[in-house]
Chains A and B, each alone.
Chain A
Amino acid sequence: MKSLAELEAIRKATASRINLRHEDAADTTRVVIGMATCGIAAGARPVMLSFVDEINKRQLNHVTVSQTGCIGMCRLEPMVDVIVPGKEKVTYVHVKPEMVSRIVAEHIVNGRPVAEYTIGAAEN
């Protein structure tokens, strides 16, 4: 027998699991990871897993993680785009798994992109 509060907890937890099946992506933040051969070779898979882990840990049910192909700047891989609705797309380059928790905490949760990891910083 479950109490009303327990049912509510199940609802919430499950909603975050199946949230990505909705198509109204208007309020969804997307993390897009370049995972063509170049990206994978540069270590994109552990980066992606770290993102999934971090989002899982923080129960961020408005964030989806997806993959994309080669963008053409293979030398900067692994590359990650973070697209917050209503904001400009931010591209991070040379991303390593240990950088992920900071991107999630500062950018996705608090809305402040991590300037030093971005493509703008790398190119200067």
Chain B
Amino acid sequence: MDIYRAHVLVCGGTGCSSSGSATLIDRFNEKLAEHGLEKEVKVVRTGCFGLCEAGPVVIVYPDGTFYSRVKPENVDEIVTEHLLKGRKVEHLVYVDHATREQDAEKTLDSITFYKQQHRVALRNCGVIDPENIDEYLAMDGYRALEKALTTMTREEVIDEILKSGLRGRGGGGFPTGLKWKFTYQSQADQKYVACNADEGDPGAFMDRSILEGDPHAIIEAMAIAGYAIGASQGYIYVRAEYPIAVKRLSIAIDQAREYGLLGKNIFETGFDFDLNIRLGAGAFVCGEETALMHSIEGKRGEPTPRPPFPAVKGLFAKPTMLNNVETYANVAQIILNGADWFASMGTEKSKGTKVFALGGKINNTGLVEIPMGTPLRSIIYDIGGGCPNGKKFKAVQTGGPSGGCLPESLLDTPVDYDNLIAAGSMMGSGGMIVMDEDNCMVDIARFYLDFIVDESCGKCAPCRIGTKRMLEILNRIVEGKGEEGDIEKLEELAETIKATALCGLGNTAPNPVLSTLRFFRDEYEAHIKEHRCPAHHCKALLQYVIDPAKCRGCTACARVCPAEAITGTVKNPHVIDPKKCLKCGSCMEKCRFGAISRQ
């Protein structure tokens, strides 16, 4: 184990991997060897840094220089200039979105994107090599397990989690300590601990990033949970679509077994605990706890009514404690630093921090972790950098298909479980999708409902049939065939589904429609009554028109039109035939005079 004078950290999260970080790592190793630096400089593949927008991300320590959007051909320059001669490559340094500065002296923590964040669940992501247990150990890893097993009783562990005020990060927000307590109190010869890593919300990737960047944190937390409730076996239910997460998790479990941190008689305390991975096939409903457990058992992933709750009768009909990945990611920190430390962050009823996956029409797509109670506005503008291309912000969708859309007027809402529900949305697992003036809210509602109709397991009628009927109505509205009374029909269906569906998926399925109706009712009305899409988004309701005063007759539009819908002669204004027009928008993109508009 050698000390290197410099470490080159390359992001190996999913975002940066898909923009080519694996090639970067190979190239770095190649070039370092070429210059004889392989014994001085170490290249480390880490988990997600969070700023996926600027990927692939490379950080050089000890300087802390933050390079963004690094291409394989830039590697040469970083090696010969920075690593060999100690001269930072200024033009590759990240440009801060807020200050527009490209300052090579700035370290990661002083960049606007990170400054307001507070990393608890993501503390090791982008810092350690997730495939190396020693690095996790060096970051105080498995110290919490040691503390719990050797100095705390099971009751004390549960008490600490209860006192911390930690609530389920998967969306429901149920107090985690209570869940642990109920499972602890159930009497049985065998109990189970399970981890829900079936992250299904469109746009959410925080669990994925934690598993990819810090898998040992989850293993440690599950072992602590196993000790607390009296379980000797745990299951991690993870989507097969997360290959990097599955691979790193498997490596981590093997390493933990080798070090005796999983298995028989851990730390010679007589406590046995082992973990297995179960792969999900990617059905959204399998994120629902009863469906998830059926799937682990090898049965069809369908929910069953509760009670009995899993704490009484879960996996294989034994008491089971199921928590989400991000919830577990907080556990070791609470045990180590104490409940009071955790409870000092956040709001009165929502303690700690929350990770959000920022996506959609936002400058800094990526992963952010902020203390509960941070206003939406500061997440979207200060950290996220606002909407790209100077477009006007319209709404933010939180909570995935079970959540809702919040308009500009609610941007000052402090983000926590209760405030979001009061505002008509929910925390959900933490997807946050930003929409600008070009997004049609009716179409957004239709998109989410389309997702739900696809993902409904079909077991109960309200969800199977009700959501389908709602989707049909929405499809009609966006096609300009909406009728008077459609809005009322949607509301009635929504209320019925909410009240009667079997599981959480169905209960919350109408939320995207209800929340857009609540805040953007005028858009629905414009579609139905005036056959007009205010955002100029719905194809059936818009027309491309050429302004004769601006058209110079350059014929560019006529040449690009795939339907030959544009006619006109050179130097004379052109005309679009609405009957032939496919509304593809190519002509508008091509026009250099801004003469074509959507109406």
Interface membership of A26, Cβ < 8 A:
no
Which residues of chain B in 471-509 are interfacial with respect to chain A, using CB atoms and an 8 Å cutoff?
Answer: none
Residues on the B chain within 8 Å of A49, using CB: 39-40
* Complex CA distance for A65 and B41, rounded to whole angstroms: 11
Q: Tell me if B3 and A69 are in contact (CB < 8 A).
A: no
Q: Is there a chain A Cβ closer than 8 Å to B174's Cβ?
A: no
CB-CB under 8 A from A10, the residues of chain B are 134, 137-138
Judge whether B260 and A2 touch: CB under 8 Å. yes
Q: Point out the residue from A11, A16, A30, A67 that lies within 8 Å of B85, measured CB to CB.
A: A67
Q: Complex formed: what's the CA distance from A48 to B146 in Å?
A: 40
A23 touches B107 (CB 8 A): yes
Which residues of chain B are within 8 angstroms of A25 by Cβ–Cβ distance? 62
Q: Bound state CA distance, A67 and B40, in angstroms?
A: 12
| Contact yes or no, B138 A7, CB < 8 A | no
A21 touches B3 (CB 8 A): no
- Mask: chain A, 24-67; 1 = CB below 8 Å from B; 0 = not: 01001010010110001000000011011001100001001111
**Is the pair B6, A66 in contact by a Cβ cutoff of 8 Å?**
yes
**If the complex has contacts A1-B260, A4-B267, A69-B87, are A18 and B109 also in contact, measured as CB distance less than 8 A?**
no
Chain B min CB distance to A36 (Å): 6
* Residues A69 and B138 in contact, CB atoms below 8 Å apart: no
* CB–CB A1/B259 < 8 A: yes
Is there a chain A Cβ closer than 8 Å to B7's Cβ? yes
Residue B275 is within 8 A (CB to CB) of chain A in the complex:
no
Contact between B259 and A23 (Cβ–Cβ < 8 Å)?
no
B127 within 8 A of A: yes
Task: Give chain B residues whose Cβ lies under 8 Å from the Cβ of A21.
Answer: 7, 9, 61-62, 127
Per the bound structure, the CA–CA distance linking A25 and B62 in Å amounts to 9
A20 at the interface (CB under 8 A from B): yes
Q: Please state if A14 and B3 are interface contacts (CB–CB under 8 Å).
A: no
Q: Does A99 contact B (CB under 8 A)?
A: no
Choice from A1, A7, A23, A55 contacting B3 with Cβ under 8 Å:
A55
Which residue of chain A is the closest to B143 with respect to CB atoms? A11
Q: How long is the Cα–Cα vector from A2 to B1 in the complex, in angstroms?
A: 18
Complex Cα–Cα for A25 and B63 (A): 10
Asked whether B5 lies within 8 Å of A52 as measured between CB atoms, the reply is: yes
Shortest Cβ distance from B9 into A: residue: A21
Instruction: Given A7-B142, A11-B137, A18-B138, verify A65-B260 contact (CB < 8 Å).
Output: no
| Number of residues from B at the complex interface, CB < 8 A | 37
**Nearest Cβ distance between residue A7 and chain B, in whole angstroms?**
6
A68 within 8 A of B: yes
Q: Which of A57-93 contact B (CB under 8 A)?
A: 61, 64-69
Interface assignment of B4: CB less than 8 Å from any CB of chain A: yes
Any A CB within 8 A of the CB of B64 = yes
Cβ-neighbour of B5 out of A23, A36, A61, A65 (below 8 A)? A65
Does A15 touch B at the CB level, under 8 Å? yes
B140 surroundings in chain A (CB, below 8 A): 11
Tell whether A13 is near chain B: CB-to-CB under 8 Å. Answer: yes
Minimal beta-carbon separation of A10 from chain B (angstroms):
5
Q: Are A13 and B5 in contact (CB under 8 A)?
A: no
Contact of B251 with A by CB under 8 A = no
Q: Is the CB of A20 within 8 A of B62?
A: yes
Of A40, A61, A69, most B-chain CB atoms within 10 Å: A69
Judge whether A14 and B267 touch: CB under 8 Å. Answer: no
Once the chains bind, are B138 and A15 in contact (CB under 8 Å)?
yes
Closest to A69 in B: B87
A102 within 8 A of B: no
Q: How far is the CB of A119 from chain B (nearest CB, A)?
A: 19
Number of interface residues of A (CB under 8 A): 36
Residues of B within 8 A of A112 (CB): none
Q: Which residue of B lies closest to A55 (CB)?
A: B3
B63 touching A66, Cβ below 8 Å: yes
Interface of A is mostly: helix
Please tell me if B128 contacts chain A, counting CB pairs below 8 Å.
yes
> How far apart are the CA atoms of A78 and B419 in the complex, in Å?
62
In the bound assembly, the distance between CA atoms of A65 and B6 in angstroms comes to 8
A55 proximity list for chain B (CB < 8 A)? 3
| Contact A17 B108, beta carbon cutoff 8 Å | no
B138 touching A20 by the CB < 8 A rule?
no
Q: Which residues of A contact B137 (CB under 8 A)?
A: 7, 10-11, 14
Known interface pairs A10-B137, A11-B138, A18-B138; A64-B85 also in contact (CB < 8 Å):
no
Q: How far is the CB of B562 from chain A (nearest CB, A)?
A: 53
Does chain A have a CB within 8 A of B189? Answer: no
0/1 string, B129-155, CB within 8 A of A gives 1:
000001101101110001000100000
Specify the chain A residue showing the minimal Cβ separation from B107. Answer: A23
Q: In the complex the two chains form, what is the Cα distance from A18 to B1 in whole Å?
A: 11
Contacts of A65 in B (CB 8 A): 5, 62
With a CB–CB cut-off of 8 A, which chain A residues contact B85? 35-36, 40, 67, 69
Partner of A18, one of B135, B146, B150, B261: B135
Q: Which one, A2, A12, A13, A16, contacts B259 given CB within 8 A?
A: A2
Residues 397-423 of B at the A interface (beta carbon under 8 Å): none
| Residue from A15, A16, A52 in contact with B40 in the complex, judged by beta carbons closer than 8 Å | A52
Q: With a CB–CB cut-off of 8 A, which chain A residues contact B9?
A: 21
A65 to B259, CA, bound (A): 32
B243 is an interface residue with CB less than 8 A from chain A? no
Q: Is the Cβ of B134 less than 8 Å from the Cβ of A20?
A: no
Query: What does the 1/0 interface line of B437-473 toward A look like (CB < 8 Å)?
Result: 0000000000000000000000000000000000000
Asked if B34 CB lies within 8 Å of chain A CBs, one says no
Q: For the complex, give the distance between the alpha carbons of A12 and B140 in Å.
A: 10
Q: How far is the CA of A30 from the CA of B4 in the complex (A)?
A: 14
Q: Is B86 an interface residue, CB under 8 A from the partner?
A: yes
Q: List 21 A-B contacts (CB under 8 A).
A: A4-B150, A7-B259, A10-B134, A10-B138, A11-B138, A14-B138, A16-B3, A17-B3, A18-B135, A25-B62, A35-B84, A35-B85, A49-B40, A56-B2, A64-B5, A65-B5, A65-B62, A66-B62, A66-B63, A66-B86, A69-B87
Additional A-B contact list (11), CB under 8 Å, known A21-B127, A23-B109: A4-B150, A4-B267, A7-B142, A11-B141, A13-B134, A16-B3, A17-B1, A21-B62, A35-B85, A48-B5, A51-B5
